[in-house]
Structure 1
Amino acid sequence: MRQQKKMPFSHLLPHSTADRRRQVDRRARVPQAVATELEGAMAANRIAMQFQPQFCCASGAVVGAEALVRWSHPQRGLIAGDELFRIALRADLARAMSDHVIAQALMQARDWEGGLHLSLNITAADLAAPDFPDAVAAALCASGFASERLTLEITEQALVHDLDGSAAQLTKLVDMGIRIALDDFGAGFCNFRYLKKLPLHFLKLDRSMVEGIADDRRDLEVLRGIVALAGALDLAVIAEGIESEAQRNAVVREGCFAWQGFLGGKPMPPEDFARL
């Protein structure tokens, strides 16, 4: 009797499950495959910076911008933000990527007129590096950008492993004149211990906290509570994800300091922001 050919175990799985496993395997291999390309892209300044404007609630004027990173990969297309840093982390290039982004953003922002502020995202890996404050100081010195015009944004997720160590690192940065924002506030656990321990200047509301403020009374009351808490702690509130006039009117009326979102402008190349 002819022996039936054995099939691989994946053949017995639902196609969708087998496909998902193959996709996971491919994603795990991708960072190794692109590590050399990523290093080359940084060396050739092909990691592009874009800037999303931030507007003063009181005056409506542009007060600064958040720097966002983009990589136009020839095969994979546009790789941005968190995905790009995940690739850099798996390729053991996370610190190199942070240093590159900080240096590039500061150099591009140094000629902004009117004392505009620059906001930069930093990671848990940044805060865990003992020399990170020194690296930021060196980048500020090289660019000539005033430390008082720089805000570093850190998420709750990046603080969960070593709050005391993070507080010490952030204090060193604040001593240099840099301001600190707790980013994506409301998206995580909202651990109020962060507000007690960290040398913060801003609470930056996650977009989920402003989506319903124009038509949901409970959402609006939550916003009011956060603004009141921030005021009691001498913190200013920045609302992100503003996409409608009604949302903007609400954050202005409730006393937020600044806002950003597609209503004011999508992330744009540096030359476009300079014209704005």
Structure 2
Amino acid sequence: MRFAIATADRYMGVFEAFVNAGWEPVKLFTVPLDNVVNHNQAVMSYATQLKMEVQLSRITSQDLLDLQARDCDILVIASYNWRVPDWRPYLRHAVNFHPSPLPEGRGPYPFHRVILEGRQRWGVSCHRLEHAFDSGDILADRHFPLTDEDCHESLSLRTQIAMRDLARQVASDFTSLWEQASPQGDEGSYWEKLPDSEWLLKFDQPVAEVLCRIRAFGQHECIAHLNNVMMFVRRAVGWTELHVHPAGTVVYTNGRNVVVAVEDGYIGIVEWSLIARNQVVQLGR
């Protein structure tokens, strides 16, 4: 079939899976990204190699009409920040690849919460695209176990691999999976974006909880307030140890390493900045 896709580099594997399965690509939709934390250069380059049109603006009904005129059969969504108009007047099919085991974890970006809650299993899903986010009938899904060592980056990479494998399955048996798609039902959950307070390191907590929060945000960075300075923290180490320092006290520094007292030990902040990574591109660095 002929397909258009809306995606970013994180799910390049979905894009490649449909092409490698013999589907004919028509157009790539993506969104403007900073290419510091989030990237789309690889999918744009791949589309150029395939001689596809690339669009960085929001998908409109006119765009869907244009896809219809090009005999496009299906719109594939895998990481797209904007709501898509009703596709049914124009296309035969539209699906979304979502990074959660639906109906659990509907919403824009579940990874941080997965780590914060200590989930033992996670997964990915492919569902029919509906107006309500992440609510459509499920064509197929995949699940995998998590460990206490998983972090934002490991979960993201494991999800990308699972999404690639799921896309291979869907692309190779699409008609059957579409016809047999299962309703999600009334159960499940929608996860909003975490509020700013969840990004803040709380040094009055135990070592394990502070490190869990840092693992949960990873390259997206937690925020720490130390000595009246706001720091963006990407990586830290920690250990339990009896001490008499008030929580939040900086007890040692060496170069860029900063050791902070917490409830039951110390946190060593080893990778941080005074400028958030998503702001770097705005400063021309």
State the TM-score, normalizing by the size of structure 2.
0.28
Greater strand percent: which structure?
2
Bigger proportion of residues as helix:
1
Larger RCO (alpha carbons 8 Å, 6+ apart): 1
Relative to the length of structure 1, the TM-score reads 0.29
